[in-house]
Copies of this chain bind each other. A is one copy, B any other.
Amino acid sequence: MIRTLTVDQARQSVLQRRLLDDAEAPEAALQALREATGRDVHTATEGVAHILADVRARGDEAVRFYSRALDGAELGPLEVPQSALEAAYMRLDRALRAALEASAERIYRFHERQAQAEAGWLVEEGDSRLGQLVRPLERVGIYAPGGQALYPSSVLMAAVPAQVAGVREIIVISPPSRARLSEEGEHEVAVADVVLAAARIGGAHRVFQVGGAQGIAALAYGTETVPQVDKILGPGGLFTVLAMRQLFGVTGIAGLPGPTETLLIADDSANPALVAADLLAQAEHDVLASALLLTPSRALAARVAAEVTEQLARLPRRAIIEGSLERGSAIVLTGSLDEAMALANEYAPEHLCLLTESPWALLGQVQHAGGVFVGESACEALGDYIVGPSHIMPTSRTARFNSPVNVRDFQKIISVFGVGDATLHATGRDAIRIAEAEGLQGHAEAIRRRLDKKE
């Protein structure tokens, strides 16, 4: 059962944005942090800060300690041997392996276009050469969640663009599971096959079985066995995201992943069964996921609501979907398509799906979204797996300023100041004037000495 709201009602409820600081940690999570850290922490932020400091100080020993305390896994080696990656790859269902490889191939091709278009430049201006070198990051860390939620697709969606960018060492970390550890006793490998196989297919170089805040800390600071990386990305739970936030600046952090969101804009031309299926696909991620339909059509709204009820009955993740429909999901009746577009830009959704008669005509109006799915065949679920652009996109309104994972995330720019004599002479006096206005005589002097020498 999905609600139908007016714009005003939606503004008061499903279109409201919450900040990470407003998310209250569940008492069970706080209790786990108290037990693991042995401190009477009052917030998850505090508990995570303690874990980070401890990993910085004690390295692997602390990583093992929190893996035991929080994941229940007593680990031997932290790194998964290459032979285990190969074995997981070989064991994987052949059709699934082919599907993952087809997905990796399309992701590669998409991002290769970006890399070719944005490869840096160097231009000659008289005797000067100015420009931007684009260089890959040396080493990046990708977080692959464990537990119930195994998303090999997310590993591909992060690792493949990194590979295209030319990252020398792509590291995947994933929390160990005690259950898996006992199954795989001899190898002491506690990460699922499908994650290991995806790491191999995606071009990851090394896999470590560490997760949570301790895993993020190990990547940011480096330990005896886990190398320090230049950037961390990927989805994750509350502790992981809080750790990323606190480590911003110690290492690069691509973004702080929050609950996923899809906003569909549809008109009378849309197929209600497909719109309903898209809403349900979104809602099945998580009770915190938001599935929103904005439409000016009352007729469509009614038919989609009926379809949602009907299709929902047949889906296995019904309880999760119902949770999502009760919280952040709804059908919102707008006065027009233009109003729907304006609301969408204000909300800045992770996924924006245009199911209207002339969807391409709306593209020019899209200002804030992670990805835009244009037309009926551009199914959001397909984009989650195989279209090519990364499915790791900005959530919680951060699409106003962040981008989907892309090649730029794995590069940095170095400005090239190749100033020749002519440019020095043409600009030196103005530079000296500004330096003197800023009270920096040493700066003025360094320029003046060159002018004097060459004049």
Interfacial residues, chain A to chain B (CB-CB below 8 A): 19-20, 93, 95-96, 98-100, 102-103, 106, 110, 113-114, 117-118, 121, 123, 129-133, 135, 137-138, 150-153, 194, 230-231, 245, 248-253, 255-256, 271, 273-274, 277-278, 280-285, 311, 315-317, 321, 360, 363, 366-390, 393-394, 398-404, 406, 408, 412-421, 423-424, 427-431, 433-435, 437-447, 449-450, 453-454
The answer to whether B415 touches A385 (Cβ under 8 A) is no
Q: Smallest distance from the beta carbon of A449 to chain B beta carbons, Å?
A: 5
The answer to whether B440 touches A284 (Cβ under 8 A) is yes
Nearest residue in B to A168 (C-beta to C-beta)? B367
Whole-angstrom distance between the alpha carbons of A131 and B371 in the complex?
10
Whole-angstrom distance between the alpha carbons of A280 and B447 in the complex?
12
Q: Smallest distance from the beta carbon of A421 to chain B beta carbons, Å?
A: 5
Q: Smallest distance from the beta carbon of A59 to chain B beta carbons, Å?
A: 16
- List the B side residues contacting A415 at CB < 8 Å: 370-372, 389-390, 393, 404, 406
- List the B side residues contacting A427 at CB < 8 Å: 102, 106, 382, 385-387
Whole-angstrom distance between the alpha carbons of A430 and B388 in the complex?
13
Q: Smallest distance from the beta carbon of A345 to chain B beta carbons, Å?
A: 9
Whole-angstrom distance between the alpha carbons of A375 and B450 in the complex?
12
The answer to whether A413 touches B406 (Cβ under 8 A) is yes
5 contacts between A and B (CB under 8 A): A251-B401, A274-B446, A315-B441, A404-B414, A404-B415
The answer to whether A417 touches B103 (Cβ under 8 A) is no
- List the B side residues contacting A424 at CB < 8 Å: 377, 379, 382
- List the B side residues contacting A399 at CB < 8 Å: 412, 414
Question: Which of B121, B130, B249 is the one whose CB lies under 8 Å from A256?
Answer: B249
Whole-angstrom distance between the alpha carbons of A410 and B367 in the complex?
13
The answer to whether A417 touches B249 (Cβ under 8 A) is no
- List the B side residues contacting A372 at CB < 8 Å: 133, 414-417
Whole-angstrom distance between the alpha carbons of A98 and B406 in the complex?
40
The answer to whether B447 touches A150 (Cβ under 8 A) is no
Whole-angstrom distance between the alpha carbons of A443 and B241 in the complex?
25
The answer to whether B445 touches A277 (Cβ under 8 A) is yes
Whole-angstrom distance between the alpha carbons of A363 and B151 in the complex?
41
Q: Smallest distance from the beta carbon of A167 to chain B beta carbons, Å?
A: 11
The answer to whether B315 touches A442 (Cβ under 8 A) is yes
Q: A317-B441, A379-B450, A416-B374 are in contact. Are A398 and B249 (CB under 8 A)?
A: yes
Whole-angstrom distance between the alpha carbons of A311 and B103 in the complex?
62
- List the B side residues contacting A285 at CB < 8 Å: 440
- List the B side residues contacting A385 at CB < 8 Å: 427, 430-431, 434-435, 443
Whole-angstrom distance between the alpha carbons of A444 and B284 in the complex?
11
Q: Smallest distance from the beta carbon of A39 to chain B beta carbons, Å?
A: 16
Q: A249-B20, A434-B386, A446-B380 are in contact. Are A360 and B231 (CB under 8 A)?
A: no
Q: Which 5 A-B pairs have the closest CB atoms?
A: A252-B401, A389-B415, A99-B430, A403-B413, A381-B443
Whole-angstrom distance between the alpha carbons of A385 and B430 in the complex?
8
Q: Smallest distance from the beta carbon of A372 to chain B beta carbons, Å?
A: 6
Q: A277-B446, A278-B446 are in contact. Are A438 and B386 (CB under 8 A)?
A: no
Nearest residue in B to A45 (C-beta to C-beta)? B49
Nearest residue in B to A404 (C-beta to C-beta)? B415
The answer to whether A441 touches B375 (Cβ under 8 A) is no
Q: Smallest distance from the beta carbon of A36 to chain B beta carbons, Å?
A: 21
The answer to whether A137 touches B401 (Cβ under 8 A) is yes
The answer to whether A231 touches B284 (Cβ under 8 A) is no
The answer to whether A450 touches B377 (Cβ under 8 A) is yes
The answer to whether B414 touches A370 (Cβ under 8 A) is yes
Q: A414-B366, A418-B374 are in contact. Are A281 and B445 (CB under 8 A)?
A: yes
Which of A249, A374, A393, A427 is the most central at the interface, judged by chain B CB atoms within 10 Å of its CB?
Answer: A249
